[in-house]
Amino acid sequence: MRIRTLVPIALVAVLAIASLPTSHSQTSANAPQNVASIHSINRSIEIAKLATYEKETKKDKTRGNEKASRSKRANSLAAKTNQAFAKSYMESKYSWGEDQHSCLVDLWNRESGWRHTADNPNSSAYGIPQALPGKKMASAGADWRTNPETQIKWGLNYIDKRYKTPCGAWSAFKKKGWY
């Protein structure tokens, strides 16, 4: 709970304590009235807590949705940037065309969503091409953990050596669930 949530609740509690009887004779004479007052105060406290909780939850959901939306836009922009680099690089280095780029997009969408920080929790696979282990990409550059271009270069070289083309790698992935 946040401090501004606690202040109204504390205020209600202080008021409740102030209205309680101060001596034993008052307690017995006013017992039914005081019990009703305590129940009323407790209900007021619960209503205040619920209202505050709902308000904070609604704010958190709104903040979360805004953050998720910004994150999706950022990831989408990063994915498109990474795909554009891969297309340019594969055309110049390997002379692969649009058909091969389409297979590569499908393959790496499934593997990492084109996120250079994609980390498989069940293995040590890392990055856009999901190199296993990720540190294998160091052969393409020391910045393999943080540079999507280094990962893409390594991944395309791996595909060329092992499957000849991105469509070959995509076909293997569809059969085995990995490439």
pLDDT of residue 76: 87
Which tokens hold the place of 119?
A: 């980390």
Element (H, E) at 20: none
* pLDDT range class, residue 44, cuts 50, 70, 90: low
Higher pLDDT, 22 or 117: 117
Confidence of residue 25 (pLDDT cuts 50, 70, 90): very low
Give the mean pLDDT of the chain.
79
Triad 51, 57, 58: Cα angle to 5°: 90
> What confidence category does residue 66 fall into, taking pLDDT thresholds of 50, 70 and 90?
low
96: CB partners within 8 A, 6+ apart: 90, 165, 166
The Cα 109–Cα 172 span in angstroms is 15
Give the Cβ contact number of residue 171 at 10 Å.
Answer: 15
Task: Give the pLDDT score at 166.
Answer: 98
Model confidence at 130: pLDDT above 90? yes
Using N-to-C axis directions, what is the helix angle for 148-163 and 166-176, rounded to 10°? 80
| Residue listed under structure tokens 């092992």 | 162
- Cα 69 versus chain centre, distance: 11
C-alpha 106/C-alpha 121 separation (Å) is 21
For 69-81, write each residue's pLDDT tens digit.
555 555 689 999 9
- Predicted pLDDT of residue 57: 54
- The strand ranges marked E within 16-130 are none
Percent of the chain with pLDDT over 70: 58
pLDDT band at 176 (very low <50, low <70, confident <90, very high): very high
Q: What mean pLDDT is predicted for residues 114-139?
A: 96
Nearest Cα residue to 13 out of 50, 30, 38: 38
What tens digit of pLDDT does each residue of 132-161 get? 999 999 999 999 999 999 999 999 999 999
